[in-house]
A and B are shown apart, each in its own frame.
Chain A
Amino acid sequence: MNTPALDALSLLLVYSAMAVYTVAFVAFAVDVARRSAARPVPAHELVGAGGPAVSAPAEPVAIGPGRGARIGFVLTVLAWALHVASVVLRGVAAGRVPWANMYEFALTGIAVIVGVFVLSRLWRDLTFLGVYITGLATAFLGVATVNFYVEPIPLPPALQSYWLVIHVFVATLATGFFALGSGLSILQLLKERRAGGFLRSLPSSTQLEDLSYRVSVIGFIFWTFTLIAGAVWAEHAWGRYWGWDTKEVWTFIIWVVYAGYIHARATRGWRGSRSAWLQLVGFVAVLFNFTVVNLFFKGLHAYSGL
């Protein structure tokens, strides 16, 4: 098959993946709604010997993901398989790694975000993030196909480097972990505010915070690597390892915000919702860096292809 045919097939797979993600999203949403509607079970007040009242674990039935969530998860895996296939085909069509312009960054980046979510299942059951992740994936894929799509073209010389493979891919990996962490932080914040409905069935806010921290720290390690690799590449391509180019500035900002987040987690009085807010500020900066900075800011990283 030639390039346009492969690319058309890739696009077809993207649309299919979007359709399945949407159904998965609905399944997750129905599950959340069902759990929100469930009659709250009064928490048993147990009074310990000499201790304060401690609420018992929430109603056990609500803890495990419901059928909707299980269906949602299976559909997410299916959509992800279609999505990954579309990414691979795009790469084959272009004859290089499929992350060299906005459309491809988005396509691959979202696949990595969902991939981190799906594979995290091997470690922890985070199905309760399904609505967030599939929602994010559907919305971003929509924007990417409608607004960012370009036909595959060869790499400009500035991008012909193995650093493209390493630097950009590790950046999307970091983004995947930050995205997962931000979902957990959002739930943590919600949970700290109220504990009714759907939220009742989630882990405690402390546990959500711990999970978010662990995931975000992985993201931070990858981001640190991205920053260093970017500097090495910049030296090869532009003759200096650091020049405060707009994209460099934003990569730095994100790194510093997450360093602040890590310190906040370790500081009395900053743990809890403050550190969760910092995690979210960091992730918003990641999204901002990817969208607004790529599209509207002037700089050397003019690779959006638009």
Chain B
Amino acid sequence: MSRSSESDPLRPSDHIDAAPEAAGDGGNPRLGFVGWLRFLWRQLTSMRTAIVLLLLLAIAAVPGSLVPQRSSDPNGVIQVRADNPELVWLYDALSLHDVYSSPWFSAIYLLLFTSLVGCVIPRLAHHWRAMRAQPPRTPARLTRLVGFRTVAGDASDLDRADGVLRKLGYRTARYGDSISAERGYLRETGNLVFHISMLALLLVVGIGSGFGYQGQRLVVEGRSFANAQSSYDTFTSGRWFDEGALEPFSLSLDDLDVVYEMENPNAIGAPLDFTASVTVTEPGQEARPGQIKVNEPLRIAGANLYLISNGYAPRVIVRDAEGEVVFDEYTPFLAQEDPMMTSLGVLKVPDGLDEQLGLLGFFYPSAGQLETGALASIYPDLLNPVLSLRGFTGDLGLDAGVPRSVYALDTDDLTPIAGGDAEADELTMALGETAEIPGGLGTIEFADVQRYGVIEVHEDVTQVPVLWITIVLFVSLLASLLIPRRRMWVKAAGGRLELAGLARGEDPTLERAVADLARRIGGDEAEAGSETSAHPEPGADASRSDASARPDADAAASASDTTPEPRSDATGPAARRGPDGRIDA
């Protein structure tokens, strides 16, 4: 290799700017083991492989948007499996509910990143050297390079030209009566940093997410909880999570304020705002107020707190026949898929009455009567709260040791005593009202109602590093895509100064840059000066003989890579004609 290629960006072997491969090491049968390895490695680190793997990755991501995923839609997963029992084996065999952690998806991105590493490391070393090297030797003939033109001047003007180039950010070197200049190393730097950031992103996410945890907790207004694994309704944590990592704080939900639209006729009852006012207590510190809104999480040390959902928790008091209180609790009712917040809930009263009592029914924040006589909520706020419960007696199964959801009541083995098949009607109470429980069991009072909020506590150590990496990634992407990398030559020949440029990578403004340089060096004369362009003018039909033929700037580039003097035979697709039909060469 000639010295000049030292300062080229090293590119994968099938990159458009790469020097053509030496023939003969492709399918040579006597390649030997090392030869084969090298061959495979070159295949893996080729641009072609990168494209194919990128496209595979895109295709592999599709199924995860069609089939519900455990990570983002666990209920959907349950539903799909219940609806298609005959397909469950297929979903499992192909990890269709965990596409993004499945072996096949992982295989694709791991291969892609291996290819990335293999691609980037040699380029890094090469670029490191290139940044210190001199710009390459001036080609013997500039005429066929981009933007070739001449301006008045001779060798004594080269110092001035050198100054102009340096001011424009070029690194320059003198070779006899010529200056060789190069700029835009930042493009390659950007490209490398960009690819490395992606690698960093993968590593940080892959490792860091193992340290995180996420817990959800339903809190009724006025109640509090401590940040401990046992206080959560649901809790998931990463592989390397240690309970000691939980930030020691406790939180009380003082007030949950919800604002609903009341004026716009198209959106009556649409929620406009959720604000949870909380009090945070950290050890050794005074309790302080805080706020959680949708889009405005509360940050406590490393933990982030989000308001996930909300609902109503009616306070129900059950008394026995003697008037003794046997049950007094705020019970969360879950909003059904109803914007007006009709909510479903279950109360279990195992002790204190003659029989175990189960209650199942609806809470209507603003009850209204449908034409059928049935109740429904007609507004999501508390305008006319009504509780309507069916009653059952029998063994609630709480002592059987089988964990039961607090939100479900298995009524199969219970005896209905109110509502449904029972003789007595449902127990329906407006706020403050009391109803008799049939069978003389006692009374039930709808004493109060509070809102509850579901608060998610989330700690993810990758969050901050990932943000920084993405910022670096974006900035380096800009550098890599927008900074032109180019060479310029100024050469004293035939009593004039010759100028020409060469693009390294995409550089649509090179032609203009040469013209601009000519103006700076040659003054006004350059404007009218003899311009012989080696570049096709707009409108000229430069159709290719085949899709892979390279535009001639590139062809000239690789020619100059291997031999300092481009050969001037005008055969092949590189032959071009100026707009006026003359042939330059």
> Which residue numbers of A lie inside 8 Å of B, CB to CB?
3, 43, 46, 48-52, 54-58, 60, 63, 150-158, 160-161, 163, 191-192, 195, 203-207, 210, 213-214, 217, 220-221, 224-225, 228, 231-232, 235-246, 249-250, 252-253, 256-257, 259-260, 263-274, 278, 285, 293, 297-300
Contacts and interface: CB of A to CB of B under 8 A. Distances in A.
25 contacts: A46-B577, A48-B570, A49-B570, A51-B575, A57-B541, A58-B541, A153-B261, A192-B547, A204-B541, A206-B542, A213-B506, A214-B508, A224-B477, A237-B295, A240-B458, A246-B65, A249-B61, A249-B62, A260-B54, A266-B47, A267-B16, A268-B16, A271-B16, A272-B546, A298-B76
Contacts of B48: 267, 269-270
Contacts of B266: 150-153
Given A207-B538, A267-B14, 5 more contacts: A48-B575, A157-B293, A231-B470, A267-B47, A299-B73
A266 B581 CA distance: 30
B16 A266 contact: yes
Given A206-B551, A244-B100, A236 B64 contact: no
A157 B481 contact: no
B72 A204 contact: no
Contacts of B456: 239
Given A50-B569, A57-B539, A206-B551, A241 B481 contact: no
Interface in B47-70: 47-48, 50-51, 54-55, 57-58, 61-62, 64-66, 68-69
Contacts of A239: 214, 297, 304, 306, 308, 456, 458
A266 B550 CA distance: 10
Contacts of A256: 54-55, 57-58, 61
B21 to A, nearest CB: 10
Interface string B464-501: 00110010011001100100000000000000000000
B543 A271 contact: no
B14 A268 contact: yes
Given A160-B294, A263-B54, A58 B539 contact: yes
A268 B15 contact: yes
Interface stretch (B37-45, B269-277, B442-450): B269-277
Interface residues of B, number: 83
Given A206-B544, A253-B58, A270-B51, A221 B272 contact: no
Interface string B548-565: 101100000000000000
A298 B505 CA distance: 42
A236 B296 contact: yes
A48 B543 CA distance: 17
Contacts of A266: 15-17, 47, 505-506
A273 B267 contact: no
B295 A157 contact: yes
A89 to B, nearest CB: 17
Interface of B: 14-18, 47-48, 50-51, 54-55, 57-58, 61-62, 64-66, 68-69, 71-73, 76, 99-100, 205, 214, 261, 264, 266-267, 270-274, 293-297, 304, 306, 308, 456, 458, 460, 463, 466-467, 470, 473-474, 477-478, 481, 505-506, 508, 536-544, 546-548, 550-551, 569-571, 575-577, 579, 581, 583
Contacts of A3: 264
A233 to B, nearest CB: 8
Contacts of A60: 539
Q: Rank and list the top 9 A-B pairs by shortest CB-CB distance, nearest first.
A: A272-B547, A153-B267, A260-B54, A267-B47, A157-B294, A51-B575, A239-B306, A51-B570, A151-B266
Given A48-B577, A270-B51, A221 B308 contact: no
B295 A154 contact: no
A121 to B, nearest CB: 15
B547 A57 contact: no
B50 A263 contact: yes
Contacts of B15: 266-268
Given A3-B264, A205-B544, A232 B64 contact: no
A228 B297 CA distance: 19
B227 to A, nearest CB: 15
A204 B542 contact: yes
**Which residue, of A195, A210, A225, A266, has the highest number of chain B Cβ atoms within 10 A?**
A266
A153 B306 contact: no
Nearest to A272: B547
Contacts of A293: 65
A50 B570 contact: yes
Contacts of A253: 58, 61-62
A244 B583 CA distance: 57
B79 to A, nearest CB: 10
**Which residue, A51, A156, A232, A237, has most C-beta atoms of chain B within 10 A?**
A51
Contacts of A50: 569-571
A39 B109 CA distance: 53
Given A154-B270, A243-B71, A244-B100, A269 B548 contact: yes
A203 B539 CA distance: 5
A242 B579 CA distance: 53
B51 A267 contact: yes
Contacts of B58: 253, 256-257, 260, 285
A213 B264 CA distance: 46
A48 B583 contact: yes
A269 B577 contact: no
A63 B539 contact: yes
Contacts of B297: 236, 239
A115 B170 CA distance: 37
B470 A228 contact: yes
Contacts of A299: 65, 72-73
A188 to B, nearest CB: 10
